[in-house]
Structure 1
Amino acid sequence: MHSDWSRRLVIGSLVGVALATRPVAAHVDYVTEEGESGPGVVEFLSAVLSDPLNVAVLVAGGVGVTIATLGWLRYGDHIADVTVIRRTLRSYQPYLGWLLRLATGLPLMGAGFGGYFFSPAVGVEARLVQITIAFLLLFGLATRLAALAGLLTYLVGLATHFPTLLLSSEYLAGFLGILVVGPGQPSADLLLRRLIVTDGTIMSRFRDVTTVSDVLSGFGVEKSVAPLLIRLFLGFNFAYLGVTEKWLDPGRALQVVAKYDLTAVAPLSPEMWVFAAGLGELVVGLLILTGTFTRSAAGAGFVILTTTLFGLPDDPVLAHVTLFGLTSALLITGSGPLALDRTVIPTLRARIGTAPSHADDPATPAD
């Protein structure tokens, strides 16, 4: 009996950190149906925390994450591969607008043709509006106006379908990111812009027309603020899903564990699976939200989404495209302004004996 418990503890400890990235971390509402009510929140948490194995797994996972974090702070910047990766990711900045347009426009087009409103959980058809906005975004035509229209459309829908539409709150990050960054390249807007600024062209007659970009610049809104806007709403989305879909509604999440036989992947209780998935999403969300190890957190979010893609065969993949794009965008931009990556993290690096000039997201690139 003792040896069996020890074996379970060892296996559980090894997968403790990885649990948060397993397929149960999907939008639970997309792969389950309303059914019998599950355990209450207090009952659920009691079931998790009263099991010594679960507590041991959580402690082991916390220790593992702490050691990995300290190791990264101390040695991460001394790895040449890390420097090359950061430099390469930053070189993708000219294509950031294109990435955001694709990540927002494609699922919006799918929502229009699929007959739902942003989220598959909201069965309201707004085909013409969503397809029109999506087409403009994908083509890169009147991009900022299209993003503004999409933002307003989402907010109107949120007012009438609250809180269900919060399942797709990543659209806020997408629309705001596009609004600030602009169309990027390639895009129809960039082509028109080059015609306008070239002397002798017909389009040069419209050179003095005020654009959305001019208005934003007048209010002091620059492209550098885009990572902050993306972080706020993407981080909120991860944290919100982790808490509300897993911890506050464990019955639906337990259905996912049973449906895909996730306890066969690791010998842990279904309740522990749900708790760990929620914890993983919450931690990733808070890291992104506060701009702490932003690229690493975005990478972890990308892994969560990838395991969902391959682990849940009936999950609506198109509904997650925006999340894929936004995590990819943060891999490119890093944290942006108002982030712990620019304040606390460099201080921690300095205190444990390494120069802060190569921080996870340095204010001044040290390439």
Structure 2
Amino acid sequence: MASVQRRLSALLFGVALAGTTLAGTASAHVRYVVDDPADVGSIVSFVASTLAVPAHAAIVGGSALATATGLLAFRRVRPFQRDRDVFADAMADYRDLLPWLLRLAIGIPLVGAGFSGYYFTPLLESDARLLFIGLGFLLLFGLATRLVAAVGLLLYLAGVAVDAVLLLQFEYVGGFLALVLVGSGRPSADDVLERVASDDDSTYARVDPVHALATRFRERVAPAEPYAPVAIRLSLAGAFVYLGLVEKLLNPGYALAVVAKYDLTAIVPVAPELWVVGAALAEIAVGVVLAVGLYTRAAAGLSLVLFTLTLFGLPDDPVLAHLSLFGLASALVITGAGPFSVDELLRTRSASPEDPDA
């Protein structure tokens, strides 16, 4: 068991590192809604000149200081403790619905990709419509869930090897891995068929070809199931870091075009350059918080708010392409950070009741 956990830990760490340094996806991809970037010249000079303005530097530095001070004060005072305890208990009661939530979060976007004719991301057209529709409906029905998730993961990784644009949808890695670990759950066709197959007096039990194999596989991966939240958390972390670092700081022209197209300075009345840099740093910060697993439920809840505001703010953004993000963030609200997290470390070192934000 220990060796299995060590191997899985190494795998998840590698996925997290790849997602953070190479790519991911996020609440909205600028290339989904704009085609022509603004001309900004040197990226380094753009960021440097933006932060060189005293007022801009004060806003960025003051926001960072206020956020850090607020987190430290929250940890020390621990307000609304009873409310948070009750919330944690409520989330624990929903834990058995996690596989169903993950199936919806991945299955619906796959069906959408099939009907719309793209390969995971709207930026990559594909004729594999029936394949994606089939995989999506199998996940929605919960039939051969672990196998379908593994096939989906292989298809995604194979696609990335051909076209790096698929890195925009890196959250699929965490979603597929989590489904391989937790299985189909209830309600699902797998659960119904397993019950029928486990009855030796049923006709289906005598002809079922996969029940014994599926049972052995489930027993093999059962020790690794607690790592599902880690896969989800790190894939979302990579998503936010990618959006802030790659799609904003390293491509400010596209981000400035989005700000101009939707008049976002009317919502946050600052210079467009500061809007881009500030949003980038905020998204990177959320990604780092998720990566280390600090106040994970709160960070996941904030992610849901950001996703929702993005969809309302960018009316022509492809909604189906982002449903997986909503589902994975919702899953983290239920599970918390899981192993390998600051939340877990603080909980084990504290003599106080379990922190529901962990």
Residue aligned with 1:198, SS: coil
Matching of residue 357 in structure 1 with residue 345 in structure 2: no
- In structure 2, C-alpha distance between the alignment counterparts of 1:216 and 1:290, rounded to whole Å: 29
Q: Does 1:335 align with 2:319?
A: no
Q: Give a deviation string over 1:81-137, Cα, whole Å, max 9, x none.
A: 211111111211111111000000101111111111101111233212111111100
Quote the offset at 1:79 in angstroms: 2.8
User: Alpha carbons of 1:214 and 1:278: their partners in 2 closer, same or farther (altered >3 Å)?
Assistant: farther
Which amino acid is 1:275 matched to?
V
- Tell me what 2:176 maps to: 175
Give the AA of the match of 1:195: V
Question: Partners of 2:323 and 2:172 in 1: how far apart?
Answer: 10
Structure 2 counterpart of 1:183, one-letter code? S
**Deviation string, structure 1 residues 153-175 (Cα, Å, up to 9, x no partner):** 1111110011x111100111111
- Counterparts of 1:44 and 1:190 in 2: how far apart (Å)? 55
RMSD: 2.1
Shift of 1:324: 0.2
Give 5+ residue unaligned stretches, structure 2.
Answer: 1-25
TM-score (norm 1): 0.85
Q: AA paired with 1:87?
A: D
Among candidates 137, 152, 167, match of residue 154 of structure 2: 152
| Aligned residue in 2 for 1:203 | 204
Q: State the distance in 1 between where 2:55 and 2:352 align.
A: 39
Q: CA deviation at 1:357?
A: 3.0
Task: Return the alpha-carbon distance in structure 2 between the equivalents of residues 25 and 280 of structure 1.
Answer: 13
Shift, 1:74, TM fit: 2.3
| CA–CA distance in structure 2, aligned partners of residues 279 and 98 of structure 1 | 34
Match of 2:42 in 1: 40
State how far apart, in whole Å, the 2-side matches of 1:117 and 1:37 are.
30
Q: Residue 94 in 1 paired to residue 96 in 2?
A: yes
Q: 1:18 — aligned with what?
A: none
The match for 1:51 among 36, 50, 53 is 53
> Percent identical across equivalent pairs?
44
Whole-angstrom CA distance in 2 between matches of 1:170 and 1:119? 11
List gaps (5 residues or longer) in structure 1: 1-23, 363-367
Aligned residue type for 2:106: T
Confirm or deny: 8 A CA contact 2:27 2:325 kept in the other structure: no
Partner of 2:250: 248
> 2: CA distance between counterparts of 1:158 and 1:184?
29
The verdict on how the C-alpha distance between 1:245 and 1:232 changes in structure 2, with shifts beyond 3 A counting, is same
With over 3 angstroms needed to count, the CA separation of the structure-2 counterparts of 1:109 and 1:193, relative to structure 1, is: same
Letter in 2 for 1:166: L
| Residues 36 and 257, structure 2, Cα contact 8 Å, conserved in 1 | no
Residues 220-278 of structure 1 show CA distances to partners (whole Å, capped at 9, x for unaligned) of 64321111111122211211121100000000000011011111223211111111211
- The residue type equivalent to 1:171 in the other structure is Y
Confirm or deny: 8 A CA contact 1:346 1:356 kept in the other structure.
no
Q: Which residue of 2 aligns with 1:126?
A: 128
Distance, in Å, in 1 between the alignment partners of 2:200 and 2:218 is 26
SS at match of 1:121: strand
CA apart distance, 1:308? 0.5
Q: Within 2, Cα distance between the matches of 1:215 and 1:128?
A: 28
What is the rounded CA distance, in whole Å, between the counterparts of 2:314 and 2:215 in structure 1?
41
Number of equivalences: 332
**Structure 2 equivalent of residue 316 of structure 1:** 318
**Cα separation, partners in 2 of 1:210 and 1:39, compared to 1, 3 Å:** farther
- Within 1, Cα distance between the matches of 2:298 and 2:152? 29
User: Aligned equivalents of 1:25 and 1:124: distance in 2?
Assistant: 23
Gap change, CA 1:268 and 1:140, over 3 Å in 2: same
Partner of 1:136: 138
2:87 alignment partner in structure 1: 85
The 1-side partners of 2:268 and 2:357 are apart by 35
1:77, 1:359 within 8 Å by CA — same for their partners in 2? no
Aligned with 1:177: secondary structure? helix
Describe the superposition over 1:59-95 as per-residue Cα deviations: whole angstroms up to 9, x where unpaired.
Answer: 2212221232123212336532211111111211111
User: Contact 1:25/1:304 (CA < 8 Å) preserved in 2?
Assistant: yes
Give the whole-Å Cα distance in 1 for the aligned partners of 2:347 and 2:46: 35
